[in-house]
């Protein structure tokens, strides 16, 4: 330890068999166990720290970091800089991370991986990158989906957030392998590019035969608020048995939404585990307060439980009288319901006008 007893201090050394326990109970509960090499320098309010060591045990719930009983251990080599106010920097390697959940006497493996992290935070602005390998991630046990689903992958991610509306995330998941209750498959790579600014939001996701592309005016927060207000106003109007299409249309953002998918991609596999299957899907929608919602949705080979729809085409278009729709279903002769049906009509202030032909 060195210090001028004023504004310069430094510490360098080894912490062997470091232990931090919670003494509140009848029996002490271990919170942290590990061995660390530490080098830290403080000049005024500027902190420069290098931490390298073996974190053998960290009780994230006991430390108050999370509400589930997660236990972590890892090898870490980190460099930290901070002015102890509004600037913080972290870079280094997290190796052999193991995240488990303790459930009674059982330990459930949730996530294993090794990655490099580089991040800067200045006030409310943050930017950084993550590059690593994750040989095990259990999305079912993590609560992401409600069916058995484990995966392993490599990832590269760049991210940035400025102010309250600007958000950028781009990168890819490489060499995806997935294991479910009934099968194991390799959907390949998934690349994504997300950008939100005060006046626009762009999202593009590609993987296998999957493509999602959308551009809308307004930031992601503004769009979330618009969606919430639209849903609330629609529920209120339905309850009042009066649909004000003009008022609802004024809430719509300006932009487009495109989604195309087959069966050879990660997202189709994810939906299949939830019981929803299809051969191809093609959705093309445009939106604006002036023109309303227009576009088409085409799905072939859609199945859920015992229901099968061989071909579905939904068309939405706006006229002066409001939103019109046309739904066409064409089933093959071997379908339980071997019919061709067409439902078309329009939404009006006090109801729906529909015509059905089979």
- Each residue's pLDDT expressed in tens, for the chain with a length of 358 residues: 999 988 899 999 999 999 999 988 788 889 999 999 999 999 998 999 999 999 999 999 998 888 999 999 999 999 999 998 889 999 999 999 999 999 988 989 999 999 999 999 998 899 999 999 999 999 999 988 888 889 999 999 999 998 777 999 999 999 999 888 878 888 889 999 999 998 999 999 999 999 999 999 999 889 999 999 999 998 998 888 888 888 999 999 999 999 999 998 888 888 887 789 999 999 999 999 999 999 999 999 999 988 999 999 999 998 877 899 999 999 999 998 899 999 999 888 877 888 888 8
Decide: residue 339, CB within 10 A, 0-12 exposed, 13-18 middle, 19+ buried.
exposed
CA distance 97 to 20: 20
CA distance 178 to 158: 24
For the record, the structure tokens of 281 come out as 């899907």
CA distance 171 to 180: 25
Backbone φ and ψ of 266, nearest 5°: -65, -40
pLDDT at 200: 94
CA distance 270 to 78: 35
Q: What is the CA radius of gyration of the chain?
A: 27
Give alpha helix (H) positions in the chain.
Answer: 220-239, 245-249, 266-273
CA distances from 187 to 177, 260, 268, 275, 283 (A): 7, 16, 9, 18, 21
Cβ(275)–Cβ(285) below 8 Å:
no
User: Which residues lie below 8 Å from residue 247, measured CB to CB, with a gap of 6+?
Assistant: 233
Cβ(125)–Cβ(161) below 8 Å:
yes
CA 252 to chain centre: 24
If one counts every other C-beta atom within 10 angstroms of the C-beta of residue 209, the result is: 15
CA distance 263 to 300: 11
Determine if residue 241 is left, alpha or beta; phi over 0 gives left, psi from -120 to 50 gives alpha, anything else beta: left
Cβ(178)–Cβ(185) below 8 Å:
yes
> Is the dihedral angle over the CA atoms 250, 252, 253, 256 positive or is it negative?
negative
CA distance 166 to 122: 14
Buried-exposed string 83-108: b where 16+ CB fall within 10 A, e elsewhere: eeeeebbbbbebeebebbbeeeeeeb
CA dihedral 269, 272, 278, 282 (to 10 degrees): -50
């Amino acid at each position: 330890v060195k210090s001028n007893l004023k504004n310069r201090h430094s510490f360098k050394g080894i912490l062997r068999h470091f232990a931090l326990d919670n003494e509140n109970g009848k029996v002490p509960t271990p919170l942290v166990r590990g061995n660390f090499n530490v080098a830290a320098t403080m000049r005024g309010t500027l902190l420069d720290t290098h931490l390298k060591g073996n974190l053998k045990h960290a009780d994230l719930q006991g430390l108050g970091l999370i509400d589930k009983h997660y236990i972590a251990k890892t090898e870490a080599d980190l460099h930290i800089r901070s002015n102890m106010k509004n600037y913080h920097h972290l870079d280094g390697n997290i190796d052999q991370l193991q995240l488990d959940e303790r459930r009674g006497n059982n330990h459930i493996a949730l996530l294993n991986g090794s990655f490099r992290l580089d991040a800067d935070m200045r006030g409310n602005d943050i930017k950084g990158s993550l590059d690593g390998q994750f040989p095990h991630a259990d999305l079912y046990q993590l609560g992401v989906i409600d069916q058995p689903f484990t995966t392993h992958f490599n990832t590269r991610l760049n991210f940035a957030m400025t102010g309250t509306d600007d958000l950028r995330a781009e990168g890819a998941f490489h060499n995806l392998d997935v294991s479910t209750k009934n099968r194991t498959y390799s959907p390949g790579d998934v690349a994504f590019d997300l950008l939100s600014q005060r006046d626009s939001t762009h999202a593009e996701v590609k993987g296998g035969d999957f493509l999602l592309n959308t551009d809308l005016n307004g930031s992601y927060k503004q769009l979330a608020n618009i969606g919430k207000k639209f849903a609330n106003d629609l529920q209120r109007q339905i309850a009042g048995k009066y649909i004000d299409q003009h008022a609802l249309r004024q809430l719509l953002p300006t932009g487009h939404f495109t989604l195309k998918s087959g069966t050879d991609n990660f997202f189709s596999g994810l939906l299949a585990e939830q019981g929803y299957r299809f051969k191809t899907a093609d959705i093309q929608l445009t939106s604006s307060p002036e023109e309303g919602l227009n576009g088409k949705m085409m799905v072939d080979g859609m199945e859920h439980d015992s229901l099968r729809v061989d071909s579905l085409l939904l068309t939405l278009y706006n006229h002066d009288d409001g939103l019109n729709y046309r739904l066409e279903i064409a089933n093959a002769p071997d379908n339980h319901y071997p019919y061709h049906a067409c439902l078309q009509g329009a939404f009006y202030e006090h109801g729906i006008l529909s015509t059905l032909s089979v």
